Amino acid sequence: MSVAAEKSCDGCAMCCFLLGIEALDKPRGDWCPNCSTKQSCDIYLDRPQECADFFCEYILNPALDDRWKPSKSKLMPVFNKAGDRLTIYVDPKRPDAWRKEPFRSRLREWAAVMVQKRGQVIVAVAKQRIIVFPDREVNLGDVRDDQDIVTVEERTPNGLMLDAYVADEKPKT
């Protein structure tokens, strides 16, 4: 993982809001108590290792321009460790931010690539999950942390169609 040299987190703390921080027992969607300005971490030099290790896709991907900075776009793209799921965390105060351009088109492009790898592009607005396919989106409603999103292929008279559903248990790893 390499950080794009010309990018920084300065002025952005969306990860301190949108993500859970296990070491601090901070749930997703609550501001971290160590982010009093909502622009930077008050304990940056002593932050938990999970925070120090985290970089959103805006920071990692040199192809994403300043429109993608989470503090501006209200979107924070994050790949899971396996690289087979890209989750776009969305500020719940701007739930449709991902539907604006250039974001929606890029999400569909990513979905086309991820589908070829049996991966997923998921939009997360609070507890709501929307899976993005190259040709459409499917709103899966609220999804709990102990549930998983499963993509399925269905053969139709018009060819292969992708769909998704929520499974009650995540597979054991």
Rounded Cα distance between 51 and 160, Å, is 41
Parent domain of 33: 1-62
Q: Would you say residue 42 lies in a domain?
A: yes
Q: Which is higher by pLDDT, 156 or 46?
A: 46
Query: What's the mean pLDDT in 76-104?
Result: 95
Q: Would you say residue 96 lies in a domain?
A: no
The two tokens of residue 93 are: 């105060």
Overall domain count for the chain: 1
Q: Would you say residue 36 lies in a domain?
A: yes
Contact in structure between 101 and 73 (CB atoms under 8 Å): no
User: What is the three-state SS of the chain?
Assistant: CCCCCCCCCCCCCCHHHHCCEHHHCECCCCCCCCCCCCCCCCCHHHCCHHHHCCCCHHHHCCCCCHHHCHHHHCEEEEECCCCCEEEEEECCCCCCHHHCCCHHHHHHHHHHHHHHCCCEEEEEECCEEEEECCCCEEEEEECCCCCEEEEEEEEECCEEEEEEEEECCCCCC
Contact in structure between 35 and 47 (CB atoms under 8 Å): no
Query: What's the mean pLDDT in 107-127?
Result: 94
Compute the mean pLDDT over every residue in the chain, rounded to the nearest whole number: 91
Contact in structure between 63 and 102 (CB atoms under 8 Å): no
Q: Would you say residue 28 lies in a domain?
A: yes
Q: Which is higher by pLDDT, 115 or 123?
A: 123
Q: pTM (2 decimals)?
A: 0.90
Least confident of 5-9, 47-51, 53-57, 163-167: 5-9
Q: Would you say residue 162 lies in a domain?
A: no
pLDDT tens by residue, 34-48? 999 898 899 989 999
Q: Would you say residue 55 lies in a domain?
A: yes
Q: Would you say residue 129 lies in a domain?
A: no
User: How confident is residue 6, by pLDDT bands cut at 50, 70 and 90?
Assistant: confident
pLDDT tens by residue, 11-33? 999 999 999 999 999 999 999 99
pLDDT computed for residue 160 by the predictor: 77
Q: Would you say residue 137 lies in a domain?
A: no
Rounded Cα distance between 133 and 162, Å, is 8
Least confident of 29-33, 55-59, 111-115, 153-157: 153-157
Task: Please name the amino acid found at residue 27.
Answer: P
Q: What are phi and psi of 166, to 5 degrees?
A: -100, 125
